[in-house]
A and B are shown apart, each in its own frame.
Chain A
Amino acid sequence: MKENYVIEMLDITKRFGNILANDHINIRLQKGHILALCGENGAGKSTIMSILFGLYEPDEGVIKKDGEIVKISNPNDATRLNIGMVHQHFKLVDTFTVLQNIILGEETLKEYKGNLNIFKKAFNFLNKRIFKLIDYKTAREEVEKIINQYDLNVDLDKKIKDISVEMQQKVEIIKMLYRHNDILIFDEPTAVLTEQEIHDFLNILRNLKKEGKSIIFISHKLNEVFEVSDEITVIRKGKYIDTLSAKDTSKEEISALMVGREVDVFKKKTKKVPLGEVLRVEHLIVVDPNSKKKIVNDVSFNVRKGEIVTLAGIDGNGQQEVVYGITGMKKVHNGAITLNNKDISNFSIRERIKAGISHIPEDRHKHGLVLDYSIYENSVLDRYYERQFSKHLFLKDKAIKEYGDNLINKYDIRSSGDGNTIVRSMSGGNQQKIIVGREIERNQDLLIAVQPTRGLDIGAIEVIHELLLKQREENKAILLVSLELDQVLSLSDRILVMYEGEIVGEFDPNKVNKETLGLYMSGAKKDQVNAIKENEHE
Chain B
Amino acid sequence: MNKVKTFLSNLLKKDATKTIVTSLWCALLGLVLGFLILLLINAKDAAYGMTSVLGNYLIFSNPSDRLNYFGQTLAKTAPLLAMSLSILFSYKVGLFNLGGSGQYSIAVIIITLLGVGLNLPWWLVMIIAIIAASIWSMISGALKAFFNVNEVISGIMLNWIALYLTNGILTSTPSVWDSSHSEAFFIDSSSKSFIPSIGLDKLFAGNQIVGLGMILILVIVAVIFVLFKKTTIGYELKATGFNVEAANYAGINKVKNILIATAVSGALAGLAAVLNLQNGFTSWRLSSVTPEIGFQGISAAFLGGLHPIGVIFSSYFIVHITEGGSMITDLGFAPEVASIITSVIIYLSGFVAFFKEVMRKNEIKEEFNKMSRRKESQS
Binding site for B on A (CB under 8 A): 327, 329, 348-353, 359, 361, 366-373, 377, 381-382, 384-385, 390, 393-395, 397
Query: Given that A381-B250, A382-B251 are contacting pairs, would A394 and B245 also be in contact in the complex, using a CB cutoff of 8 Å?
Result: no
The answer to whether B245 and A367 have CB atoms under 8 Å apart is yes
B242's partner among A348, A351, A372, A397 (CB-CB below 8 A) is A372
- Asked whether B246 lies within 8 Å of A395 as measured between CB atoms, the reply is no
How many B residues face the partner with a CB closer than 8 A?
Answer: 19
Cα distance A373–B249 when bound, in Å? 15
Q: B249 near A393 (CB under 8 angstroms)?
A: no
Given contacts A353-B251, A382-B249, A382-B250, contact A390 B232 (CB under 8 A): yes
User: Interface on B for A, CB 8 Å cutoff?
Assistant: 230-233, 235-236, 238-239, 242-243, 245-253
Name 20 interchain pairs, CB-CB below 8 A, sorted by A. Answer: A327-B249, A348-B253, A350-B252, A351-B251, A353-B250, A353-B251, A359-B249, A367-B246, A367-B248, A370-B242, A371-B243, A372-B243, A382-B250, A384-B236, A385-B232, A393-B232, A394-B230, A394-B231, A394-B232, A395-B232
Q: In the complex, what residues of B have CB within 8 A of residue A351's CB?
A: 251
Which residues on A sit within 8 Å (CB–CB) of B247?
Answer: 370
Closest chain-A Cβ to B256's Cβ sits at a distance in Å of: 11
Would A397 and B230 be within 8 Å (CB), given that A366-B245, A370-B239, A370-B242 are in contact?
yes
Report yes or no: A384 in contact with B246, Cβ–Cβ below 8 A.
Answer: no
Pick the contact of A329: B232, B239, B242, B249 (CB < 8 A).
B249
Q: Contact check, A395 vs B245: say whether CB atoms are below 8 A apart.
A: no
Complex alpha-carbon distance, A395 and B246, angstroms: 19
Q: For the complex, what is the distance from the CA of A397 to the CA of B232, rounded to whole Å?
A: 11
* CB pair B232 A381 closer than 8 Å: no
CA–CA, A397 and B230, complex, Å: 8
Q: Which residues of A contact B238 (CB under 8 A)?
A: 373
Q: Can you name 5 extra interface pairs (CB under 8 A) apart from A370-B243, A370-B247?
A: A327-B249, A353-B251, A381-B239, A381-B246, A395-B235
Contacts of B235 in A (CB 8 A): 377, 384, 395
B contact residues around A348 at 8 Å (CB): 251, 253
Chain B CB count within 10 A is highest, among A371, A372, A381, for A381
Question: What CA separation (Å) do A352 and B248 show in the bound complex?
Answer: 12
Given contacts A350-B253, A370-B239, A371-B243, contact A395 B231 (CB under 8 A): yes
Identify the closest chain A residue to B227 (Cβ): A393
Name B246's closest neighbour in chain A (CB-CB): A370
Chain A contacts for B232, CB-based, 8 A: 384-385, 390, 393-395
- List residues of chain A with CB within 8 A of the CB of B239: 370, 373, 381
**Bound state CA distance, A325 and B133, in angstroms?**
39
Contacting pair B230 A371 (CB below 8 A): no
Contacts of B243 on A, CB cut-off 8 Å? 366, 369-372
Closest to A328 in B: B251
What is the CB-to-nearest-CB distance from A352 to chain B, in angstroms, rounded to a whole number? 8
